[in-house]
A and B are shown apart, each in its own frame.
Chain A
Amino acid sequence: MIEFKNIQKKFGKQHVLHGIDLKFNQPGIFAILGPNGSGKTTLIKSLMGMVHPTGGQILIDGQIKQGNEYRNNIAYLPQIARFPENLSVNEFLDFIENIRGKATRKVELMTAFGVNEFADKKLRALSGGMRQKVNLVSALMYDTQTIVLDEPTIGLDPVALIALKDWIRKEQGAGKTILLTTHIMDIVEELADEIVFLLDGKVYYRGSQQELLQKTNTPSTEHAIAQLLTLKKAS
């Protein structure tokens, strides 16, 4: 279980998160949405301990988050795929395994995303989409209760996109808690059990897709989100 309690974050004078309260205490897929710069990545990084919130608390299974061990139970896909460029894909994955321990699902994931085909290539020689596939393998290769994906679809070809959706559904079936941010509404419509909409550093909406459609009186999540955004602009 993951709980954000009144999370505040300021970068210098810029107030990015204004008291986020969110609780994820059941399995399922939670889509964290919001315009660019609304603080989705910042919120996720607070959970990962990469960003230090200026206020509030994060609870993991009811305990205030501390130390580093809790990350054993979280798989995290960074928004931007960056690697030690002079390593080959295989060497890089070995490097991660050397630090974190044997990954149980590496082979399966490499096959699913077609990473085998370029496993001996240097990371610096990979295209954006290939890098994102490596990013996915390195993030998902550990079997964790919580999975956090920051814009996982960027650069993926249709085949990889299907593989990713299948993987996420499989994990959903296995009772995992999956947080994901994306700007692709198809993914949200297809996968999300719940939607969290961030705006101006606050949780603007949280609930199921049906509720959102009823509330906004729109035919699709895409329209609903667009409406939330235009309402915001008008106000």
Chain B
Amino acid sequence: MSEHHDKPTGIKRWLFTTNHKDIGTLYLWFAFTMFLIGGAMAMVIRAELLKPGMQVVDPLFFNTMTTMHGLIMVFGAVMPAMVGFANWLVPMMIGAPDMALPRMNNWSFWILPFAATMLVSTLFMEGGGPAFGWTFYAPLSTTFAPKSTDFFIFAVHLLGFSSIMGAINIIATILNMRAPGMTLMKMPLFVWTWLITAFLLIAVMPVLAGAVTMMLTDRNFGTSFFNAAGGGDPVLFQHVFWFFGHPEVYIMILPAFGIVSQIIPTFARKQLFGYASMVYATAAIAFLSFIVWAHHMFTVGMPVAGELYFTYATVMIAVPTAVKVFNWTATMWKGSMTFETPMLWAVAFVFLFTIGGFTGLMLGVAPADFQYHDTYFVVAHFHYVLVTGAVFAIIAGVYYWLPKWTGHMYDEKLGKLHFWLSAISVNVLFFPQHFLGLAGMPRRIPDYAIQFSEFNFMSSIGGFAFGLSQLLFLYIVIKCIRGGEKATAQVWDNPEGLEWTIPSPAPYHTFETAPEVK
């Protein structure tokens, strides 16, 4: 691999890089940028919902904001952030010099900014951007959609290409590039969760591509997949979408499980409890995620047998999920715990993600879901699993590995401040939404009945506070890159893993000769 040794500088370094660390950095910065853009849209949504009545934006633009916010957070922020972690960490954790397919790696990243630009540019097109929700149900997204929808479709295709290439790369790296002695059951849990996630990506991103392709031909070439007039069925769209969509939520959360499983043992100063059961639980969740999709569609009018089946299958996911929560808790049990910033985020993850898991169980029970479906209760559920779940894990991971990446310690005081501001505001933001949903406030509406005023006001205030707190994160990260206390190779107190055996900051090339793993 000696041909990679000359290192161009400036913009060319980033454009042409095939180095896993550079590409990891690019992914992470891209994700953070999208997080701020998607976050700004959330601020528009919460500003409109601060008080009843219409005050800030018109209803169409409001719907555009909820749609774009969802799409950007899912495809632009959380997924690329996880791929960024994989790029940085997987080779370092398994003792490989780089990713298996470095040139394809460059492509997978550089497709993203184009896809994102195309997606965001629809906002400025005639008829506006997509306003049909991040789930883009037909016929809203076919017959009734604005012209810009074809650009949206193309952007989704590109995002899909990027994810699929990234996933292939990760699988090839993990299967073929492990250092001698690094057997599968010795791999750090983060590597395991990403291996399984990558398989999920390969299985379902093509289905998403199929769904948007069918939309494209329905819109432009006279097919009728989702058009009842031509013998199609809009409900089919929901099946195809959720066949992708439910595994997709696990694509976002499994790497988060991996990150947290790295962090908690370090600060509990104990080995991860039940390593093997963690691996099997992850695999079980991934398998189950393929057979529960219609729990998003309980109210479309399925036969009772279908409702029963999807209820039981869904509730079953709680079992492996509970195994994981149990193992994290058991890892902390009687550990000599300290609460540095990454640990604070990780512990908050365990606690708050579990709340989201519980509400998921409630939603998974068909007769109960008839009441909760399409209300703010669902919004509360998926924000607990995605924000206090996936996003909290991402932030935890950034604090945990930032010293390894930059060679400097971040500002611990500011990190803790960032944590407490976020942890409190995020609950003020999302907890009241449970009550709103139970009281019957529908989701995706720009205005609401006055009995919902108080909780919406609280939620908006929490939202503004949470949004602002993330600017502090940006400041802390930049400050850490610029300088700070020198980090040691180990950084933390005896952490486990090959990445802590190399100096901080990690040199441009690592493990060019494979380490021996005992």
A binds B: no
Interface residues of A (CB under 8 A from B): none
